[in-house]
Structures are given as C-alpha cells and as structure tokens.
Amino acid sequence: MSLQTLSEWLRCPICFLPLAPGGALVLRCPTGHAYDANKRGYVSLAGGSRRLIGDSAAMLDARDAFLAAGWYEPLRDSLAELVGQENPLAVLDAGCGTGYYLLGVLAKLDGARALGMDLSPVAVARTIAGDDRIDGLVADVWAPLPVRDGVVDVILNVFAPRNPSEFHRVLRRGGRLVVVVPQETHLQELRAAGLALGVQANKSAELVASLDVHFILESQRTSSELLTLDPHQVTSLVGMGPSAHHTDAATLAQEPHADRPVTAAFELLGFRRRD
C-alpha cells in the first residue's frame, strides 16, 4: 500500500472528484477537500451524518480464532475459484472484516490489487496488514461510496450489506459481483438453543430480486456441512457475528461443556453487471 495506490481507487465523498496525494499522509481533491490517511495505511471517508457502529475488536478476535481453525476454508476456496475465473486486476472487498476471504482470493491471483472496505477501522487495519497489495478504506456501504466510477473488476460481498446501485457504478463494464449469504439452515442448532439470530427466509431469492435492476445472476452454488465444535469454538462462532450483540457471556457459560453439532450452510452467488 502507498498513498498513490490508495488514491487511485478513491473520489472525494463531498464533490465526487478524484483524490490524489496532497502531502504527507493527506489526500486532496481538485476543489481542496483534504483527508488524513492513517499511518497504519488506510483512510476513513465514512463521514459523520449517522451513528455508525462497525465490528468491535472483540468480534474480530473471535472471528480470527474461528476462521484460523479452517472451518470455513472450503467456502474461501470456492470463492477464490469463482473470482479467479475473471483474472481480475482490481478487487473490492465490501465488508472485508478480518480480510480472511480477500486474502484467500489474492493468494490465487497474480498482479491483482485490492481495496478492503469496512465500517470498522479495526477490521480495515487487520485486512491491510495481511498483504501489501491491499489498500484500506473505512466507509459506509449505505452511502454513496467514495470509490471512482468503473475502477473495480470484481466486488466481494461476504456476509455483508450491499448497495446495488453503487456497486454497479464502481464496477467496470461486464464486471462481476460475488455474494455469500447464509442458508436458512445455517447455525440452526445454535438458533434452537437461543444463541444465534434467525436467518431471513428465502434470503437468496430476495437478494436476486434486489439486485435484478443492476445485475444478472450467472451462477449459484450451495454448500452445507455439519461441523462438530467444542465449547470454545461455539463461543467464537457466536461472538464473531451479529449474534454477539444479543448473546451475553453468562448465557454462553450456561451451555453444556461438550462438543455440539452445528450446521454451516451457505449460498455463493455470482452476478454480472448489467451494461
């Protein structure tokens, strides 16, 4: 990452003109708006118009611990395979988290660069630390993205919110959007025990419908596996996602101290940008 490579992705969130290096750790647009880049290698362009809360350090620690054990490695491999079909040079991970999936994708690509974007500064810092080909951006996916038009070949969107019109804008003509969502049976055993939030019914159908104006569904792959997790792994799994906001430590402490079966079920969908 350098200030130059970071700037080449970005536009000013106020006037939408391209950003460029404007001094030591400063990005500027032609009209004079200036933004400080973090010494850790990223810039925050999230703005302050809404109360925004990204993933906490504790949630990211739990995610690191769970993913490092390899439970979701088959999903990461499938994601890397699908993205690799595009031979992209520019990848945007919208909702990068710890960077686990983006790093898996980049490991299969030669010459590609990536932009790791998340609402959580802690998440972005962890992502860019994993590979010097990754630039970092803290931004709100629901707002107009501070990313230039047509600079992205592939967008990754793994268990994260989506902004269809903005994804369409920042993708080049014919670009690909790759989305991962949970199936209805995902973590069903934990939901039955009151430890995890429910999954929206017909989630993938709703997703396809919401994207239809801007994207064509090209591929759809489902996977389901029954994992056997020990109590520490269950705690990490619950603590790494939105269920962490609704399940306290006392509830987890009351759980049986024994291995339990947990279903991991996903849908991996590939979309093509409508031109």
Please write the tens of the pLDDT for every residue from 140-149.
Answer: 999 999 999 9
Q: What's residue 50's pLDDT?
A: 52
Mean pLDDT of the chain: 91
- Residue 124 — very low, low, confident or very high, per pLDDT cuts 50/70/90? very high
Q: In the predicted model, is pLDDT for residue 52 greater than 90?
A: no
- From residue 83, give the alpha-carbon distance in Å to each of 109, 117, 136, 170, 181: 9, 18, 20, 17, 16
Per residue in 226-248, pLDDT tens?
Answer: 999 999 999 999 999 776 554 55
- Under the banding of pLDDT at 50, 70 and 90, the label for residue 249 is very low
Q: Is 6 in contact with 26 (CB distance < 8 Å)?
A: no
State the pTM of this model.
0.92
pLDDT of 84 over the 70 cut: yes
Mean pLDDT for 57-82 is 95
In 102-151, which ranges are E strands? 113-118, 134-138
Alpha-carbon gap, residue 42 to 125, rounded angstroms: 7
pLDDT tens for residues 178-237? 999 999 999 999 999 888 876 766 778 899 999 999 999 999 999 999 999 999 999 999
> Does residue 31 register a pLDDT over 50?
yes
Cα separation, 140 vs 34, whole angstroms: 18
Q: For residue 194, is it left (φ>0), alpha (ψ between -120 and 50) or beta?
A: left
Task: Please state, for a pLDDT cut of 90, what percent of the chain lies above it.
Answer: 79
Q: Considering only the C-alpha atoms of the chain, give the largest distance between any 2 of them, rounded to a whole number of Å.
A: 61
Please answer whether residues 124 and 92 qualify as being in contact, where contact means their C-beta atoms are separated by less than 8 angstroms: no
* Per-residue pLDDT tens digits for 259-269: 999 999 999 99
pLDDT confidence tier of residue 49, bands split at 50, 70 and 90: very low
Alpha-helical regions (H) of the chain: 3-7, 57-68, 73-84, 100-106, 121-129, 164-170, 188-192, 203-211, 231-239, 249-253
CA distance 54 to 258: 32
- Whether residue 255 is predicted with pLDDT greater than 60 in this model: the reply is no
What pLDDT score was predicted for residue 199? 73
Cβ-based neighbour number of residue 107 at 10 Å:
10
- How many whole angstroms separate alpha carbon 250 and alpha carbon 152? 44
All residues at 6 or more sequence positions from 246 whose CB lies less than 8 Å from its CB, including other chains: 197
Is there a contact between 229 and 259 (Cβ–Cβ < 8 Å)? yes
The amino acid occupying position 25 is: L
Task: Report the half-sphere exposure of 253 (CA within 13 A, side-chain side).
Answer: 3
Query: Looking at residues 55-84, what average pLDDT do you find?
Result: 95
